[in-house]
Amino acid sequence: MNILIIGTGYVGATTAMVFAESGWQVTGLDVDADKIERLRQGRLHFHEPGLEDLIAKHVHSGRLLFTTDKETAIAGHDVIFICVGTPSRPDGSADLRYIQQVAEDIGYLMNGYKLVVTKSTVPVGTQEQVKAWIEAAQRQPHPFDVASNPEFLREGKAVEDALQPDRIVIGTDSAKASEQLLTLYQSFQCPRIITTPRTAELIKYASNAFLATKISYMNELAKLCDEFKVNVNEVADGMGLDPRIGPSFLQAGLGYGGSCFPKDVSELVMTARAQAVQLHILEQVMEVNRIQPTYLLDKARSRLGDFANKNIAMLGLAFKPNTDDIREAPALRMIHQLLLEQANVRLFDPVATLPAHSSSYEAVTVCASVEEAIQNADAVILCTEWAAFGQLDWENLKGLLNQLNFFDGRNMMDARWMRGIGFYYQGIGND
């Protein structure tokens, strides 16, 4: 079997690497010629630790090819993974236009049996829709199967997650399709779940929504911790020792961002509403997340009086460390608000950059180092827990600041230490 990956973004590029690493011949197809040109040279168009080296390795071995030629690519491959984006529409439901485009291309250009696998995160029922789009676009009837095979990798840990997944979920009604997919994944050591397409699609949303729920739960609890002068991290440690709860995703902070949790929780709520089911808990999860960055800004404002003409050093822009992804990053919303309130924003992130071609952030001073960002700062706001920020010597750096105010959106610093060296220090739930 040779494999075609359509869409070479975070998931597509990683998936292409995974199958090449497992010994298959893989081609990545994208409409973006610049991305394809870089990938052909073994270079990645986004920051993901370890991925570029593995892609380069397989580009050089010839096991991994990249193209923009959909006619040849679709005709020449038996197994096709769809990895294009499924962004939110303004009403919060998933926009399937890229999936539809790809399905129609496959239908129109297919020349024999194809196994079409949806790896993109798609609403329950999409597999049936993809089938219908393919059928409607066919010029002559060719047999095909459609399967759902959701992806669970995290950005920043994509290589590790994709090469050693916790589970492989395959949703299909076709024995031939599940057999082919099990062969493709034969070298993986993890549980496989073979189920219906709808179940596979829902497993993906239910997983992301549950993780988002854990985060919003801890963020709300953190506010109570502040009132009681209890440290939320200690509460999380105590809770996490119960194996029924588990220690992960209990980190209070600025709320969840990224290209997935915000859109997937919202899509699940919309899907449920279309079935006349109200997901009350998830609606509140979204609301808690929406107001979470405001909580830290309120603390900073009440300390400074107001933000007008104050120098605010923002440390971190990416929605989480080890990625340059700024989609739905809480830092962006905070910068927007600070600019509205006339603050002078000085920003440093080790890899992420502000959105290109956006006039909204022109007033931000983008700095090349922490030292430059905190120069004459009236307050530091830490938005992303890059490991390097945890190693800074604030005892030495504090002389650069105008006022010793530190607002830690990720509870990264030791509160007692920071206060001990003279900072007015506030985190989320560690007052």
229 is in an annotated binding site: no
**Cα angle value 30/35/36 (rounded, 5°):** 60
Residue 64's DSSP bridge partners are 26
Residue in 257, 293, 316, 409 binding ligand UGA, rule: CB under 6 A = 257
Residues of this chain that bind ligand NAI (CB under 6 A): 6-12, 29-32, 35, 83-86, 98, 101-102, 120-121, 151, 153, 155, 259-260
- For position 401 contacting ligand UGA by CB under 6 A, the verdict is no
Query: Which residue has the CB atom at the shortest distance from ligand UGA?
Result: 260
Length of the chain: 431
Query: For ligand NAI, which is the closer residue by CB, 259 or 292?
Result: 259
CA neighbor of 333 nearest in space, from 350, 355, 311: 355
Q: Cβ contacts of residue 359 below 8 Å, gap of 6+?
A: none
Query: For ligand NAI, which is the closer residue by CB, 258 or 429?
Result: 258
Name which of residues 97 to 126 contact ligand UGA (CB under 6 A). Answer: 121
Instruction: Indicate if 83 belongs to the active site.
Output: no
- For position 28 contacting ligand UGA by CB under 6 A, the verdict is no
- For position 408 contacting ligand UGA by CB under 6 A, the verdict is no
Residue in the block written with tokens 């959105």: 355
Query: For ligand UGA, which is the closer residue by CB, 269 or 401?
Result: 269
DSSP classification of residue 334? H
Instruction: Count other C-beta atoms under 10 Å from residue 201's C-beta.
Output: 24
152 is in an annotated binding site: yes
CB 170 within 8 A of CB 115: no
Smallest distance, ligand UGA to C-beta of residue 121, A = 6
Q: Cβ contacts of residue 163 below 8 Å, gap of 6+?
A: 18, 21
Query: For ligand UGA, which is the closer residue by CB, 133 or 256?
Result: 256
For strand 365-366 and strand 424-426, is the pairing parallel, antiparallel, or unpaired?
unpaired
> What is the per-residue binding string for ligand UGA in 204-243, x denoting contact by CB under 6 A?
----x--x---x----------------------------
CB 369 within 8 A of CB 304: no
Smallest distance, ligand UGA to C-beta of residue 160, A = 12
Residue in the block written with tokens 């219908």: 132
Residue 195's DSSP bridge partners are 171
Instruction: Count other C-beta atoms under 10 Å from residue 216's C-beta.
Output: 24
Query: For ligand UGA, which is the closer residue by CB, 19 or 386?
Result: 386
Set 83, 225, 260, 367: catalytic member: 260
63 is in an annotated binding site: no
Residue 327 near which of ligand NAI, ligand UGA, none (CB within 5-8 Å, type-dependent): none
Smallest distance, ligand NAI to C-beta of residue 8, A = 5
114 is in an annotated binding site: no
Name which of residues 148 to 167 contact ligand UGA (CB under 6 A). Answer: 151-155
CB 330 within 8 A of CB 292: yes
- Amino acid (1-letter code) at residue 165: P
153 is in an annotated binding site: yes
Q: What's the rounded Cα separation, in Å, for the pair 244 and 155?
A: 26
Residue in the block written with tokens 């081609």: 27
Q: Which residues bind ligand UGA (CB under 6 A)?
A: 121, 151-155, 208, 211, 215, 249-251, 253, 256-258, 260-261, 319-320
Catalytic residues: 260
Write out the binding residues for substrate. Answer: 152-155, 204, 249-253, 257, 320
